[in-house]
Structure 1
Amino acid sequence: MRLSKSQALQGVVFALVASAFTNIYLTQPVLPVLQQEFGISAAYASWSISAVILGITLANIPFGLLADHWPIRPILFTGGLLIALGGLLTAWVDSFTWHVMGRFLQGLFIPALTTCLVAYLARVLPAERRHVVMGSYVAATVLGGLGGRLLGGWLHPPLHWRYALVSAALLTLVAIGVAMRLLPKEPRPPAQPLHSRVGFITLLTQWPTLRLFLSGMGGFFVFSSLFNYLPFRLAAAPFFLSTNAITAIYLVYIIGIFMGPAAGQLSNRWGSGQTLMGGAVVTLLAVVLSGTPWLVGIIAAMLLLCAGFFTLHTASVGALNHRMTAGHGRANALYVLFYYLGGWMGVTLSGLAFEAWRWFGVMGLCVGMLALPFMAGWMEKRSVAQQAMHARPLP
């Protein structure tokens, strides 16, 4: 059956984004294996993930600016090649320092397949088609993150995790090759003014937008911390799970496919503020439940974590874009920057907490960081109530 142009474009977008997110989380389930193979601490082993997130954090805004001024197809092609090169380098080296450098290189060019791709879609698609294709984008982020974890810890034996890196690099090359063949040519980038009505400094100094950036940062801090150090907790007493069993628990991640649209409906019904607060409370329950010594409790905690995190993440993005009347691109670039900064901080700081106080140290940090999305939700709810009060006609 011949695919329509719209279906082909959705497939290309799905393949590009899924390949990018597959590379990000590839080594997460085998962190204990890396710890043993390289003879390093759990916190140092986690740099296999945090180096990628740090690279994304540093490169996201520069790539966003590139996408405003340059054709995006060459950026996609170059970024995909360098992501694959970083994966092959990481699979080949025997030094963990070089392993981290290869992962950092991948992170630096992940925004070429994410941030720049969104800008490309905005440039080539009318609004009604853009919403449909962006549905493929969101689904690909979830399935790519899950697929990377399964590829790294399940589809390949844990002692051959290097094969997973090679497989992901080849998948990225295939996705780039298909994209260069099927992606429609884009119009010339629009001329950019020398100044913008809504600049980065303005967005960072306005509390209504800054608190939503902090909300995304706090949510991803918690999500990254729990998922990143879960393998160490489950590989030790009282669970002693194998790598395959640990990887299977990551299947709960698929709930994110359904929570995004559901959270959007909740925001429409309750408002973004209440939805944010509800997502933060559900995530808090997940953190507390993760401290139980029973496997069924851990699984329930991870389900709640996914439900709560995707709810507050969706509500934060929705509230931000609803609030903006101009400067959407810069606002979203800053949101992604804070988001991945939170993930990097979560993996890094929770590693130190895990080394010092084990799992309860990670839990303590996460409980504190959940104050950010809860606070943002409470203030968003109060702001909406005040606006409604001022808009009410006098008797």
Structure 2
Amino acid sequence: MSEHSPLRLQLVVFALVAASFTNIYLTQPVLPVLQAEFVADTLLVSYTVAAVILGIALSNLPFGVLVDRLPIQPIILIGGIAVAIAGLICATTHNIWLLIGARFVQGLFIPALTTCLAAYLAKSLPIERLNVVMGSYVSATVVGGLGGRLLGGWIHPPLHWRYAFVSAAVLILIATFAALRILPSQPKATTTSLEQPRFLSLLKRWELVRIYLAAAGGFFIFSSVFNYLPFRLAAAPFSFSTELITLLYLVYVMGIFMGPLSGRISNRIGSGYTLMGGTLLLGVSITLTLLPYISAIILGLLGLCAGFFAVHAAAVGSLNRRLTGGQGRANALYVLFYYVGGWIGITASGFAYTQWGWQGVILICLLLLLLPFMAGIGEQRDASR
């Protein structure tokens, strides 16, 4: 590799991960627009987000195994092309079920560009370079999540949401082919350890399972609030335009700061207290969104992002501190629980919103706070022994 390749590697990792995450949330800010265009109910159009998250959850573990057996380049090539083609189908279809199906296909192949890339980097780079490059990876997930929302509901006019899929497809293809050129060759001698724990043995460890449940509960709440927020703000007493609603997603940048900050807080006071504190902040913040004032909504969303990323970062840190081996499989299970939690959240909160409105969404989210809070109690109890 050339002298200037470390920076190029960071940039290509950032571009590929950001472009991948951009595709996940493209339809979230324009759900009311899709509801009107396809003459569909709230729950059905919400599946245009939930289907992606379900696809990611289902294919994450298989791709995690696949990357141990095959070179990264063909995996990324197939993944990038599949996500782009499915995105172009989304841009042209006038059938809501085909839109949902194409979104599901996007979700199935996004781990080829994210989970596989992370596993490949962990095997290919020395630890001092890995930490720097993975910093770019984490920042890219936040930027991509925000970028998708802005692309779908602000950069392109909401009624032109189809062009957002075209733009996202072009971005993913550019990032894919750049990655194929710049990613270093995978070491030939990458034999997997015979001592790698099986997925089932990891799931028999309660101290790990409660962290997985904390991840599921946290993303359940985060996904639910942000997915049904456009309906809340498009209705009275706010009656906001899609562009204005989309701008509120800028609170998501809180994640760029809260991830590293939460790590430092956890080092100082412990993961258990950080999990409990983040959960309490989540509870107060989502309750604020019940108030009919935009100032309360903004404050609540800022607190929601801060609390969620605190819980997420503390849970990941606690998980990896408990592992003496099998980090790849243990983290793959974390991602599985995380996205399944998000999918269940969007689906269950869709029923709640249909039956009881915004209050129903917040009530079900408040109940799910038990998962990260109980995980925090368990972590703190173990740390005190």
Alpha-carbon distance, 1:143 to partner: 0.4
Alpha-carbon distance, 1:188 to partner: 2.2
Partner of 2:350: 351
Q: Which digits, 9 at most, give the CA deviation of each residue in 1:146-197, with x for residues without a partner?
A: 000000000111111000000000000000111111111111262235x544
For the residues of structure 1 that align with 2:189 and 2:60, how far apart are their CA atoms? 19
Partner of 1:5: 5
Structure 2 unaligned blocks of 5 or more: none
Residue pair 2:51, 2:103 contacting (<8 A) in 1 also: yes
Partner of 1:389: none
Residue pair 2:72, 2:116 contacting (<8 A) in 1 also: yes
For the residues of structure 1 that align with 2:277 and 2:197, how far apart are their CA atoms? 30
- Note the aligned Cα RMSD (angstroms): 1.1
Q: Which amino acid aligns with 1:63?
A: F
Partner of 1:101: 101
Partner of 1:288: 287
Comparing 66-75 with 182-191, which one deviates more in the overlay?
182-191
Q: Which amino acid aligns with 1:205?
A: K
Partner of 2:127: 127
For the residues of structure 2 that align with 1:131 and 1:287, how far apart are their CA atoms? 33
Partner of 2:18: 18
Q: Which amino acid aligns with 2:383?
A: V
For the residues of structure 2 that align with 1:49 and 1:140, how far apart are their CA atoms? 19
Residue pair 1:71, 1:189 contacting (<8 A) in 2 also: no
1:242 aligns with 2:241: yes
1:318 aligns with 2:317: yes
Q: Which digits, 9 at most, give the CA deviation of each residue in 1:35-58, with x for residues without a partner?
A: 000001111110000000000000
For the residues of structure 2 that align with 1:188 and 1:235, how far apart are their CA atoms? 55
For the residues of structure 2 that align with 1:102 and 1:197, how far apart are their CA atoms? 35
Residue pair 2:123, 2:190 contacting (<8 A) in 1 also: no
Partner of 1:207: 206
| 1:3–1:225 Cα change, 3 Å | farther
Identity of aligned residues (%): 57
1:186 aligns with 2:186: yes
| 1:27–1:72 Cα change, 3 Å | same
| 1:30–1:48 Cα change, 3 Å | same
Q: Which amino acid aligns with 1:99?
A: L
Q: Which amino acid aligns with 2:300?
A: A
Partner of 1:342: 341
1:123-202, aligned counterparts within 5 Å? Answer: 123-188=123-188, 190-192=190-192, 196-202=195-201
Q: Which digits, 9 at most, give the CA deviation of each residue in 1:287-322, with x for residues without a partner?
A: 111101001100000000000000000000000000
Q: Secondary structure at the match of 1:68?
A: coil
For the residues of structure 2 that align with 1:114 and 1:192, how far apart are their CA atoms? 20
Partner of 1:70: 70
Taking structure 2 as the reference length, what is the TM-score of the superposition?
Answer: 0.98
Q: Which digits, 9 at most, give the CA deviation of each residue in 1:326-381, with x for residues without a partner?
A: 11111000000000000001111000000000001001110011100000000100
Q: Secondary structure at the match of 1:355?
A: helix
1:371-382, aligned counterparts within 5 Å? Answer: 371-382=370-381
For the residues of structure 1 that align with 2:143 and 2:319, how far apart are their CA atoms? 25
Alpha-carbon distance, 1:72 to partner: 1.2
Structure 1 unaligned blocks of 5 or more: 387-395
Q: Which digits, 9 at most, give the CA deviation of each residue in 1:48-71, with x for residues without a partner?
A: 000000000000000000011111
Q: Secondary structure at the match of 2:239?
A: coil
Q: Which amino acid aligns with 1:243?
A: T
Q: Which digits, 9 at most, give the CA deviation of each residue in 1:233-276, with x for residues without a partner?
A: 00000000000000000000001000000000000000000000
Partner of 1:111: 111
Q: Which amino acid aligns with 1:158?
A: P
For the residues of structure 2 that align with 1:255 and 1:156, how far apart are their CA atoms? 24
Alpha-carbon distance, 1:3 to partner: 8.4
Residue pair 2:68, 2:192 contacting (<8 A) in 1 also: yes
For the residues of structure 1 that align with 2:3 and 2:282, how far apart are their CA atoms? 41
Residue pair 1:71, 1:188 contacting (<8 A) in 2 also: no
Taking structure 1 as the reference length, what is the TM-score of the superposition?
Answer: 0.96
For the residues of structure 2 that align with 1:367 and 1:3, how far apart are their CA atoms? 51
Partner of 1:392: none
